[in-house]
Amino acid sequence: MNVMTKLLLGTAFFGAFATAQAQLTWEKTEIELHPKSTDAETVANFKYENKTNKTINIKNVHSSCGCTVASLKKNDVAPGEKGEVTATFKIGGRTGTQQKTVTVETDDTTQPVTNLILKAVIAESVQIQPPFVSWEANEAAKPKKITVKVVDKDIKMTKLDVTSSTPDFTTNVEKGATADEFVINVVPKDTTAMHAATLTIKPDFPQTFSATARVMGAPN
């Protein structure tokens, strides 16, 4: 193999190596957060660095749902430059583990798409038991109870308002057995026909919950 051939092969190798490395380097592609259930939102910052020798253009960032907004300050990332993609998740009364994906699209053919994962682990602030009450057709239209109890020690609940989505059910609220507990009494106007309602439950802290009431249809 002559010198010229070796030079050409070497140039091709290093060119291919540089191309293979032409991508943004992410500090983390998955971030786990632990917000309170009463927080309005939580934010994850996904940091990156352009460790290549070319400018990389971020063409688009978008999230997997409307409850998460993804943004960045600039689209062109120069060699050696650092930046971040910000993902803002609107909690909106959600609890449990919420996983959202932010997709980053670039003009880098070696890595055109990167998926970033925001995982929010949100503890329950209250327990609603049972979340569903029902009456059989022609059952006596007597009250059934739903208990709302605070389970987050950082939250105080001194008031509870409940509204029904239809006039087919009435509700009233009374204090429960403990200071952090309320009882909702739900009564159907009648049980001769099938109907249902969503009960909107609003405590005196910035969160809203729901339960369901239903009169079942007569069997065929």
Longest CA–CA separation in the chain, Å: 99
Q: Which of 13-27, 83-97, 161-175 has the lowest mean pLDDT?
A: 13-27
Name the average pLDDT for the chain: 89
Which residues, in sequence order, are CB contacts of 13 under 8 Å at separation 6+?
Answer: none
Question: Which pLDDT belongs to residue 20?
Answer: 44
Rounded mean pLDDT of 84-112?
93
What's the pLDDT at 95? Answer: 84
Taking the CA atoms of residue 106, residue 44, residue 53 and residue 113 in that order, the dihedral angle to the nearest 10 degrees is: -20
| pLDDT at 4 exceeding the cut of 70 | no
164-205 pLDDT per residue, tens? 999 999 999 999 999 889 999 999 999 999 999 999 999 998
Buried b (16+ CB within 10 A) or exposed e, 203-212: bebebebebb
Q: What is d(CA 206, CA 107) in angstroms, rounded to the nearest whole number? A: 43
16: pLDDT strictly greater than 50: no
Alpha-carbon dihedral of residues 165, 168, 172, 177, nearest 10 degrees? -90
What pLDDT was estimated at residue 61? 97
Position 21 pLDDT exceeds 60 = no
Asked whether the predicted pLDDT for residue 45 surpasses 80, the reply is yes
Q: Of the candidates 61, 55, 60, 59, which has an alpha carbon nearest to the alpha carbon of residue 77?
A: 55
Q: Is the pLDDT at 207 greater than 90, yes or no?
A: no
Averaged pLDDT for residues 152-174: 94
Predicted pLDDT of residue 25: 95
The full set of domain ranges for the chain reads: 25-122, 126-215
Q: In which band, very low, low, confident or very high, does the pLDDT at 219 lie, cut at 50, 70 and 90?
A: low
Please check the confidence at residue 9 and state whether its pLDDT lies above 80: no
Q: Do domains 25-122 and 126-215 have the same CATH topology?
A: yes
Residue 152 vs residue 127, higher pLDDT: 127
User: How large a percentage of the chain has pLDDT more than 70?
Assistant: 89
Superfamily, domain 126-215? Immunoglobulins (2.60.40.10)
Domain 25-122 coded CATH 2.60.40.10: yes
When mean pLDDT is compared across 97-101, 117-121, 149-153, 157-161, the lowest value belongs to 149-153
For residues 107-117, average pLDDT: 93
